Structure 1
Amino acid sequence: MTLGVGLTLASCGSDDDNSAADCGSSQAVAQALTDNEADTIATNTSQAVARVAPASTTQARTRTAPAPGDTITLGIIPSWSDGLSMAYLWQNLLEQDGYKVEIKEIADAAPLYTGVAQGDVDIYPSAWPEVTHASYMEQYGDQLEDLGAYYDAAKLTIAVPEYVDIDSIEDLVGCADRFDGQIIGIEPGAGLTEVTEQSVIPEYGLEDYDLKTSSTNGMLTELQTAIDNKEDIVVTLWRPFWANSKFPVKDLEDPKGALGEPEGLHFIATKGFSDEYPDIAQKMGNAKLDDEQYGSLEDLVVNEYGEGKEAEAVAAWLEANPDWVDTLG
Structure 2
Amino acid sequence: MQKHTTRAARLVAGLAVAGLAVTACGSDETATTDAGSGSTDVAGGGTVTLGFLPSWTDGLSTAYVWQHVLEDQGYDVEFEELGDPGPLYQGLADGAVDVYPSGWPEVTHAQYMETYGEDIEDLGAWYDGAVLTMAVPDYVEGVDSIADLQGQADRFGGRVVGIEPGAGLTGVVQDSAIPTYELGDEYTLQTSSTTAMLAELQSAIDSQEDIVVTLWRPFWASSEFPVRDLEDPEGAMGDPEGLHELARAGFSDDMPEVAEMMANFSLTDEQYGELENMVVNEYGEGQYEEAVDAYFEANPDVLEQIQG
Question: TM class by shorter-chain length?
Answer: 0.7 to 0.9
TM-fit CA distance, 1:56: 1.6
The answer to whether the Cα contact below 8 Å between 1:57 and 1:120 also exists between their aligned partners in 2 is no
Partner of 1:171: 148
The answer to whether the Cα contact below 8 Å between 1:301 and 1:310 also exists between their aligned partners in 2 is yes
TM-fit CA distance, 1:209: 0.8
TM-fit CA distance, 1:322: 0.9
Partner of 1:40: none
The answer to whether the Cα contact below 8 Å between 2:51 and 2:101 also exists between their aligned partners in 1 is yes
Partner of 1:128: 104
Partner of 1:281: 259
Distance 2:66 2:304 in 1: 14
Distance 1:173 1:280, change over 3 A: same
Distance 1:45 1:179 in 2: 34
Distance 1:64 1:74, change over 3 A: closer
1:234 aligned onto 2:204: no
TM-fit CA distance, 1:68: 3.6
Matches within 5 A, 1:92-111: 92-111=68-87
Distance 1:312 1:319 in 2: 11
Partner of 2:168: 191
1:327 aligned onto 2:305: yes
Distance 2:272 2:88 in 1: 23
Q: Unaligned regions of 5+ residues in structure 2, if any? A: 1-5, 14-19, 25-32
| Equivalent residue in structure 2 for 1:313, among 291, 301, 308 | 291
Partner of 1:300: 278
Q: Unaligned regions of 5+ residues in structure 1, if any? A: 1-9, 11-43, 49-53
TM-fit CA distance, 1:161: 0.5
User: Once the two structures are superposed, what CA deviation does each residue of 1:264-317 show, in whole Å capped at 9, x if it has no partner?
Assistant: 000000010000001011110111100111000001000000000000000000
Partner of 1:61: 35
Segments of 4+ moved more than 4 angstroms: 44-48, 62-67
Give aligned-pair identity as a percent: 61
Q: Which has the larger radius of gyration?
A: 2
Partner of 1:28: none
RMSD: 2.1
Distance 1:76 1:125 in 2: 7
1:116 aligned onto 2:82: no
Distance 2:40 2:11 in 1: 38
What one-letter code is carried by the residue in structure 1 that aligns with 2:167? Answer: A
Distance 2:10 2:183 in 1: 28
Secondary structure of the residue aligned to 1:300 is: helix
TM-score, normalised relative to structure 1 = 0.82
Matches within 5 A, 1:244-263: 244-263=222-241
Distance 2:44 2:263 in 1: 19
TM-score, normalised relative to structure 2 = 0.88
Distance 2:65 2:10 in 1: 22
Distance 1:311 1:181 in 2: 42
What one-letter code is carried by the residue in structure 2 that aligns with 1:279? Answer: E
Distance 1:206 1:279 in 2: 49
Distance 2:118 2:131 in 1: 25
Distance 1:201 1:57 in 2: 46
Distance 1:104 1:64, change over 3 A: closer
Distance 2:220 2:11 in 1: 24
Of structures 1 and 2, the one scoring higher in RCO (CA 8 A, sep 6+) is: 1
